[in-house]
Structure 1
Amino acid sequence: MSAVPDYLQNIRIILSRTSHPANIGAAARAMKTMGLSQLVLVAPNIMATPMTPEPPEFIAEHATDFRLPEESFILASGAVDVLEQAKIVATLPEALTGTVLSCALTSRRRELTTPLQTPRELTPSLLAAAQNGQTVALVFGNETFGLSIDEVQQCNRLMTISGNPNYFSLNLAQAVQVVCYELFSQVNADMSHLIPERNLATADQVAGMVRHLEQTMEELDFFKRRNQERMVRRLHALFNRADTTTEDVDILRGFFRKVSEKIAKTQD
């Protein structure tokens, strides 16, 4: 039996605002079954259950002090180590730090123009990036509401699991299992032709560059008669679709600095 490839450690499963403690444990079990171990929890919103009548409260300022209830560990079965090593953060940008490809799991069409793709379609590029030492993230939303539009726009890929249009009701842990299975089923495929030669920018590098662009646009009074929030969101989506490289970021931020310097001189 072949060993689990080391590069699967570069694939991060992110659960945002998960409410049922059992789902967190079951998701950890689904991950470990398919060779994944990197779990990040964003602001867990644990609900009361018969097994967890007094759920722990998540406090953003003390995120690292949060402890999952026993119910999560029971449902994790032999994957307790995944839960014990899980990182807990307050926001999605924190969870996406260092990632190059990030997939938002959604079953709804969004206003963003990023195309919806299935796990099977996206898996080759995700594994190729992981093989190349880059960090990949799969982001799952709350059981009831899914991912918000703001959370989706922070990712640069949209993934959807296809199913019966007359009845489609996957449990969160089941969705994690489906995606993790698709990843593991393709680990032995030859993806050398997909490994990028470019240095793709991480999520936080792109976000920082977009903030820099927004500041420069503010200095130019560009938003005077425009919807700033909506426009910045579209710019963020644009750079995510473009697979922006670190070289692109350096060039653009250098340009933004020059523009700011010129503006400052004209105001002296």
Structure 2
Amino acid sequence: MEITPPAFVLVRPQMGENIGASARSMLNFGLEGMRVVAPRDGWPNERAVALASGAGRVLDAARLTETTADAVADCTMVFATTARDRDLTKPVYAPEAAMAEARDRGARGEKVAILFGPERTGLENDDIASANAIVSVPTNPAFASLNLAQCVLLMGYEWRRATDAPAPTETELAGTDWANQAEMSALAAHFEERLDQAGFFFPDGKAAAMKLHLRNLWSRMPLTRADVQTFHGMMRQMVRWKERG
């Protein structure tokens, strides 16, 4: 059975050496889908090539984007790797469970992304808000931070283990597909626009936090494309009803 491997997304990486070492770690476990978001030192990066050590083809094929949203727009499931507690409600997976989920979705032809944050600060809340779940590595609480390439290596290893497992069961989608991140973002924007017109985001000082939590709510909902179109239709009909009144 053909399994679509996950994309490993390096968000705002700071050191070319870590990008190169990450490419090598990925290829060790048969992964070649790297995406790089706004690297600090530009792209292509000579230091990344030097540290890739035989895994240059991963860098050659890497997709460069300016934003995290662009990097995951075609994905139906996004995991964010982070060691810190967050103020966002998300399901939290161990690495083994996350890669088992990625395997199951990949077997259905879905695209999955794993987000890895910059070396100094890790992922920001805006990055994590667009993810569907968190991956937490059970490290020493007193020294939890992993090097970027180390975290990539660990997740690649768990992917390799997961793909040796028996084939997963299939889910019938009744003539539709799972909505991707671009479609979910468009739905969230439609709701924000209508709610803004209705005066929902009040007072102004709380509007940004309210919108962040609303985007986080959407990211937790496993919607199909048919579901998304239904929600769009509901919002359009409500506007027509208000105009008739």
TM-score (norm 1): 0.85
Per the alignment, residue 174 of structure 1 pairs with 150
Q: 1:16 to 1:180 in 2, by over 3 A?
A: same
Per the alignment, residue 103 of structure 2 pairs with 127
Q: CA deviation at 1:6?
A: 4.8
Q: 1:79 to 1:150 in 2, by over 3 A?
A: same
Runs of at least 5 residues in structure 1 that lack an aligned partner in the other structure: 47-57, 59-66
Say whether the 8 Å CA contact 1:206–1:239 is kept in structure 2: yes
Q: Mapping of 1:94-133 within 5 angstroms?
A: 94-133=70-109
Most deviating of 237-246 and 10-19: 237-246
The one of 143, 146, 150 equivalent to 2:119 is: 143
Query: Aligned pair 1:184/2:160, yes or no?
Result: yes
Q: 1:225 to 1:31 in 2, by over 3 A?
A: same
Say whether the 8 Å CA contact 2:77–2:112 is kept in structure 1: yes
What amino acid sits opposite 1:128 in the alignment? Answer: D
Q: Deviations 1:117-154 (Å, cap 9, x if unpaired)? A: 21112222111111111100000010000001000001
The one of 3, 10, 27 equivalent to 1:7 is: 3
Q: Mapping of 1:53-92 within 5 angstroms?
A: 58=42, 67-92=43-68
Number of equivalences: 241
Per the alignment, residue 40 of structure 2 pairs with 45
Per the alignment, residue 216 of structure 2 pairs with 237
Q: Secondary structure at the match of 1:102?
A: strand
Say whether the 8 Å CA contact 1:26–1:72 is kept in structure 2: yes
The one of 20, 27, 32 equivalent to 2:27 is: 32
Per the alignment, residue 184 of structure 2 pairs with 206
Q: 1:105 to 1:158 in 2, by over 3 A?
A: same
Query: Aligned pair 1:161/2:137, yes or no?
Result: yes
Say whether the 8 Å CA contact 1:26–1:76 is kept in structure 2: yes
What amino acid sits opposite 2:187 in the alignment? Answer: M
Query: Aligned pair 1:249/2:225, yes or no?
Result: no
Q: CA deviation at 1:169?
A: 3.5
What amino acid sits opposite 2:196 in the alignment? Answer: E
Query: Aligned pair 1:197/2:175, yes or no?
Result: no
What amino acid sits opposite 1:33 in the alignment? Answer: N
Say whether the 8 Å CA contact 1:19–1:142 is kept in structure 2: yes
What amino acid sits opposite 1:189 in the alignment? Answer: A
TM-score (norm 2): 0.93
Q: 1:184 to 1:218 in 2, by over 3 A?
A: same
Instruction: Indicate the RMSD between aligned Cα atoms, in angstroms.
Output: 1.6
Distance 1:200 1:191 in 2: 20
Q: Deviations 1:25-62 (Å, cap 9, x if unpaired)? A: 0000011111110111000012xxxxxxxxxxx4xxxx
Q: Deviations 1:133-192 (Å, cap 9, x if unpaired)? A: 110000001000000100000111111111122333421000000001001111021242
Say whether the 8 Å CA contact 1:210–1:232 is kept in structure 2: no
Say whether the 8 Å CA contact 1:16–1:141 is kept in structure 2: yes
- Identity among equivalent positions (%) equals 29
The one of 18, 25, 29 equivalent to 1:23 is: 18
Q: Secondary structure at the match of 1:167?
A: coil
Distance 2:166 2:217 in 1: 30
What amino acid sits opposite 2:7 in the alignment? Answer: R
Per the alignment, residue 63 of structure 1 pairs with none
Q: Secondary structure at the match of 1:78?
A: coil
Q: 1:221 to 1:165 in 2, by over 3 A?
A: closer
